[in-house]
Amino acid sequence: MKFDLGSAFIEEARTLMTGINEPVYRADQVYKWIHQRQAASFDEMTDLPKDLRVRLSEAAFFSVASVSNKKNDPDGTIKYLFELENHNIIDKIEYPKTYIETVLMNYRHGAALCVSTQAGCSMGCVFCASGKEGLLRDLSAGEMLAQVYAAARDSGKSISNVTLMGCGEPLHNYNSTLRFIRLLNAKAGLCMSQRRITLSTCGLTDGILKLKDEGLQITLAVSLHAPNDRVRAELMPVTRAYPLDGLLAACRRYADTTKRRVTYEYAMIMGKNDRPDHASELAAKLKNTLCHVNLIPVNSDPGSKKRGYRPSSENNIAAFKDILTKHGVQATVRRTLGSGINAACGQLVASNNH
């Protein structure tokens, strides 16, 4: 199997070079081409001898995300459908290509990219389109980085923030997700501050407890969407494996260990989780914890709308927020971007059937 240079740390790339009888500095050159100049092939690495480029292409690869399609929203959001080669994926030969969606959002402070960590998803949240085809496969750290580099190349923008909120459950692909974060933060790469990286999870309690000891300074965002197990299990099947009280306890331990505030994402669904008693129950569970609640009008796909999952009214959202605030729980209503092109939270898929 070929060596995955795109997912390698600089020390691993240097080991590869010495293994093929090349000086260490060649690894630094290649690394710069991949992670800073964002090359799309070894042929672009023109300061490397041609014979070395040939030998590298025989021994190694790095993932490149090709733009298969893109849609532009009037609010400045761009949704990309990227095509990935299935390097080293021998058990998925029925998928000669892998398609993933990635979203570029433009803010006053810079460009933020919503990255996918898996092709498809196995979590089965009822209002989310990402899991409709199930989980196709995990993405490598290099394939996650390829999304960042491809979006930057195509848009001409420097990516200042990254959110792992695209298709897939990041903690279900734990090792590749952690490697991606560390590579994104590495001095030899983009050197992005960890404080500009957000990891969003459906609430895999064991993953959160493991993550708290990684020494990271990222933002943890937890998709909560309900104040109790009864409501949450209807919306998120993962609740049956990871009940809410255990999840919140893990989040408190995460905050205590990292000293980082946990963000709770709460999709407001009319008549399902947006009543005043829901807000009071949630406030009681979050009071006196280091957290912040993001209230989001649910962005339903057509299928979930048929099942009655519709966004809450502005009045209900405002009342919900007021109850949380009065109980000392910080809350905001998040601005929705990209809904006009199905690029908002819960609307991404892993298919080229558009």
**Same-domain status, 289 and 190:** yes
Mean pLDDT along residues 179-193: 96
Closest to 265 in 3D by CA, of 277, 251, 284? 251
Asked whether residue 207 carries a pLDDT value surpassing 60, the answer given is yes
Other residues' Cβ atoms within 10 Å of the Cβ of residue 152: 17
- Identify whether 350 is part of a domain: no
Q: Given CA atoms 112, 98, 342, 198 in this order, what sign does their dihedral have? A: negative
What is the CATH classification number for the domain harbouring 109? 3.20.20.70
Asked whether residue 347 carries a pLDDT value surpassing 60, the answer given is no
Q: How many helices (H) and strands (E) does the chain have?
A: 11, 14
* Separation between Cα atoms, residue 279 and residue 325, nearest integer Å: 10
Q: Which of 101, 143, 169, 265 is catalytic?
A: 101
Contact 258, 217 (CB under 8 A): yes
Selected residue with higher pLDDT from 353 and 328: 328
**Same-domain status, 56 and 146:** no
What are the tokens at 3? 């060596």
Contacts of 305 (CB under 8 A, 6+ apart): none
| pLDDT tens for each residue of 235-288 | 999 999 999 999 999 999 999 999 999 999 999 999 999 999 999 999 999 999
- 114 is a catalytic site residue: no
* Separation between Cα atoms, residue 161 and residue 194, nearest integer Å: 9
How, if at all, do strands 135-138 and 118-120 pair? Answer: antiparallel
pLDDT for res 341: 43
**Same-domain status, 133 and 173:** yes
| pLDDT tens for each residue of 6-17 | 999 999 999 999
- 94 is a catalytic site residue: no
- Identify whether 210 is part of a domain: yes
| pLDDT tens for each residue of 27-50 | 999 999 999 999 999 999 999 999
Asked whether residue 94 carries a pLDDT value surpassing 80, the answer given is no
**Same-domain status, 95 and 241:** yes
- Identify whether 291 is part of a domain: yes
**Same-domain status, 126 and 254:** yes
Asked whether residue 348 carries a pLDDT value surpassing 80, the answer given is no
Q: Which of 61, 81, 105 is the last residue of a domain?
A: 61
Percent of the chain with pLDDT over 70: 89
Task: List the domain range (segments joined by +) for residue 9.
Answer: 3-61
Q: Residues, the chain, total?
A: 354
Contact 272, 231 (CB under 8 A): yes
**Same-domain status, 194 and 252:** yes
Q: Given CA atoms 7, 348, 341, 70 in this order, what sign does their dihedral have? A: positive
Mean pLDDT along residues 321-341: 81
Burial class (CB in 10 A: 0-12, 13-18, 19+), 241: exposed
Contacts of 64 (CB under 8 A, 6+ apart): 40, 41, 84, 85, 146, 149, 150
- Identify whether 181 is part of a domain: yes
- CA geometry: angle 347, 349, 354, nearest 5 deg: 100
Average pLDDT score over the chain = 90
Contact 124, 132 (CB under 8 A): no
Mean pLDDT along residues 94-102: 78
pLDDT for res 307: 56
Q: Which of 114, 121, 128, 345 is catalytic?
A: 345
**Same-domain status, 156 and 23:** no
**Same-domain status, 42 and 123:** no
**Same-domain status, 57 and 84:** no
Other residues' Cβ atoms within 10 Å of the Cβ of residue 121: 27
* Separation between Cα atoms, residue 128 and residue 303, nearest integer Å: 9
* Separation between Cα atoms, residue 146 and residue 64, nearest integer Å: 5
Contacts of 264 (CB under 8 A, 6+ apart): 221, 222, 224, 251, 286, 291, 292, 293, 294
Asked whether residue 308 carries a pLDDT value surpassing 50, the answer given is yes
